[in-house]
Amino acid sequence: MAVSNQEFVYYHAGGKRGSRPVLRGAAAKDTFETIPLVDVSGLFSKDIADRKAVATEIGKACREVGFFYAANHDIPDDVISETFEAVKNFFSMPLEDKMEVHLHKSAALRGYEPLFETKMEGTGRGDMKEAFTIGDDPWEPEQHCPYQPSTEEPKRNSWPTAYPGFRPQIYDYYTRVLAFSRKLMQAFALALDLPENYFDAATSFPMVGVRILHYPPQERQDARDIGLGAHTDYSFFTLVQQENVAALQVLNANGIWIDAPPKPQTYVVNVGDFLSRITNNVFKSTVHRVLNKSGEERYSMPFFFSPDKAATLSTVPTCVGEGSIGEEKYEELNAGDYLMERLKAARWQHPSNQGKPPPRVQDVATAEVAAMA
Ligand SMILES: O=C(O)CCC(=O)C(=O)O
Ligand SMILES: [Fe+2]
């Protein structure tokens, strides 16, 4: 049997394991090599022409890359730096104070995840990061939920009792990023040639998550130690605030990792699987990973935005048709069920997973390479 020396990149995308051949030289395709930057200040204009001009640029980035830097957003620098201070205070607490809000105690998959608890790529000792997540919770008055939750509906978020100042700081950040996300969502609608308010009805109380992350410096300087394994996001879209340590990388069509270092006063915005799905893959949900080779502690805060739990979404009308767009590829689906399924797939140790084994990407990889030979 011939042995193929084709190199592959392995990842976790759309809830499934996948791989991509690394293409160099004559075999290389036309793909992105940098992450575009979009000045989003026009989204705050009263003039629809200004908003449409930004949307056009966002649309181009979403079709070609799936990632862009948003510059000139309206989240103040001091709110971001104060929130990062709170994030560092949180992670520097003793482990037992963090474990009080362990994600395994939460049916909504909220709370703290210690180092190596997830294993996005299915190999090695796991993702070298600790995380804490909160999100939409109709019981928390800070969120001004537009409906009265039923008494059967459990509370979703948990906050550490050892750090009372944490919650107000996170909420200051949350409230502002949510408002900015709504502007971006309208820009995505315009970018798809839809009315600006197209997604408004499906996002009256959107499923969101503020996730804070701490990546210690990796001991090994190659990808055998990984901060967060290669994946696509489950969200509609994500806004990542990174502090000052470069580690985020985005995979292009040639299987080459493109750096997405922090740029002052910007967000990294990326399309998630949900938005890609309802655009018939016209908008790309692009694989990315975190590799902290800097030798420094890295902190970041992704904000995930998705439709209402009860929303049912089907392919948008402007993304079905003739030619390059093609036939509708996906059935309509309930947003809440989809998100929960995806979150659980990445957290095999959660009690609700009933002891199912972790994903084993390397097995698939070996089989694929054998099939090519
Ligand atoms: O830490 C980062 O820069 C990105 C994190 C990320 O991709 C995620 O949490 O989905
Ligand atoms: Fe991500």
Question: What is residue 357's predicted lDDT score, i.e. its pLDDT?
Answer: 61
- Which residues have a beta carbon within 5 Å of ligand 2, which is an ion? 233
pLDDT at 362 over 70: no
Ligand number with the minimum distance to the CA of 260? 1
Q: What digits encode the pLDDT tens for the residues 42-99? A: 999 999 999 999 999 999 999 999 999 999 999 999 999 999 999 999 999 999 999 9
Share of the chain above pLDDT 90, in %: 71
Question: What is residue 324's predicted lDDT score, i.e. its pLDDT?
Answer: 63
Question: What is residue 12's predicted lDDT score, i.e. its pLDDT?
Answer: 84
Between these two residues, 337 and 161, which has the higher pLDDT value?
161
Question: What is residue 365's predicted lDDT score, i.e. its pLDDT?
Answer: 38
Mean pLDDT of 195-211: 96
How many angstroms does the Cα of residue 297 sit away from the middle of ligand 1? 15
**In a mutational test of the pocket of ligand 1, which residue from 117, 213, 245, 249 has the highest number of ligand atoms less than 8 Å from its CB?**
213
Which residue owns the Cα nearest ligand 1 atom 8?
302
**In a mutational test of the pocket of ligand 1, which residue from 238, 285, 294, 343 has the highest number of ligand atoms less than 8 Å from its CB?**
238
Residue 2 lies in a domain: no
pLDDT at 340 over 90: no
- Work out which ligand 1 atom sits closest to the CA atom of 213: 1
Residue 1 lies in a domain: no
Query: In sequence order, what DSSP letters do the residues of 274-334 get, joined into one string?
Result: HHHHHTTTSS----EEE---SSS-EEEEEEEEEEETT-EE---GGG-SSTTT-S--S--EE
Ligand number with the minimum distance to the CA of 13? 2
How many angstroms does the Cα of residue 231 sit away from the middle of ligand 2? 6
Interface predicted TM-score (ipTM) over 0.95: yes
Pocket of ligand 1 (CB under 6 A): 211, 213, 228, 233, 240, 242, 248, 288, 290, 300, 302
Question: What is residue 345's predicted lDDT score, i.e. its pLDDT?
Answer: 67
pLDDT at 224 over 90: no
Quickly count: other Cβ atoms within 10 Å of residue 195's Cβ.
11
Residue 30 lies in a domain: yes
Residue 292 lies in a domain: yes
Q: What digits encode the pLDDT tens for the residues 32-57? A: 999 999 999 999 999 999 999 999 99
Question: Tell me, what CATH number does 211's domain have?
Answer: 2.60.120.330
Q: What digits encode the pLDDT tens for the residues 234-243? A: 899 999 999 9
Spatial distance between the Cα atoms of 318 and 193, rounded to a whole number of angstroms: 7
Residue that the structure tokens 């190659």 belong to? 222
116: Cβ contacts below 8 Å, ≥ 6 apart: 125, 126, 127, 128
* Confidence grade of residue 152 (pLDDT, cut at 50, 70, 90): confident
Question: What is residue 123's predicted lDDT score, i.e. its pLDDT?
Answer: 67
29: domain range?
8-372
How many angstroms does the Cα of residue 327 sit away from the middle of ligand 1? 32
Question: What is residue 311's predicted lDDT score, i.e. its pLDDT?
Answer: 94
Q: Which of 210, 234, 235, 199 is nearest to 312 (CA)?
A: 199
* Structural domain total, the chain: 1
Which residue owns the Cα nearest ligand 1 atom 10?
233
Residue 239 lies in a domain: yes
Residue 80 lies in a domain: yes
* Confidence grade of residue 368 (pLDDT, cut at 50, 70, 90): very low
Beta strands in the chain (DSSP E): 8-13, 16-21, 37-39, 67-71, 111-113, 130-135, 206-215, 228-231, 237-242, 248-251, 257-259, 266-271, 288-290, 298-308, 312-313, 333-334
| Greatest mean pLDDT among 64-68, 105-109, 321-325 | 64-68
Question: What is residue 327's predicted lDDT score, i.e. its pLDDT?
Answer: 80
Residue 352 lies in a domain: yes
Mean pLDDT of 185-198: 98
Mean pLDDT of 108-137: 87
How many angstroms does the Cα of residue 228 sit away from the middle of ligand 2? 8
Question: What is residue 371's predicted lDDT score, i.e. its pLDDT?
Answer: 32
Question: What is residue 372's predicted lDDT score, i.e. its pLDDT?
Answer: 29
Which residue owns the Cα nearest ligand 1 atom 3?
248
Question: What is residue 364's predicted lDDT score, i.e. its pLDDT?
Answer: 39
Residue 233 lies in a domain: yes
